[in-house]
Amino acid sequence: MLGGDGTLLATARTVAKAGIPILGINLGSLGFLTEVKQDEIPRALADVDAGRCEVSLRPCSIARCNAGRNALLLMRR
């Protein structure tokens, strides 16, 4: 996945149920969630290809807001 933290979150929502691992490559400015910087791409891809990588599972939370009722529902998957 190429992009910033927002792209990583959107991608994670899309593939979460399928259990597809994501390698976050930061093209944004901060990169709190993405782990690979642009200059690290060749090494990171070589590590993945050689099986020298670790998959870490992250918890997922869902928030739904109903502004008309002043309600916020927060669930954890």
Is 39 catalytic? The answer is no
Q: Report whether 10 contacts 33 (CB < 8 A).
A: no
Mind giving me the DSSP string for 35-47?
-B-GGGHHHHHHH
Of these residues, 5, 39, 47, 49, which one is catalytic?
Answer: 5
Q: Report whether 23 contacts 36 (CB < 8 A).
A: yes
Would you name the residues annotated as active-site residues?
Answer: 5
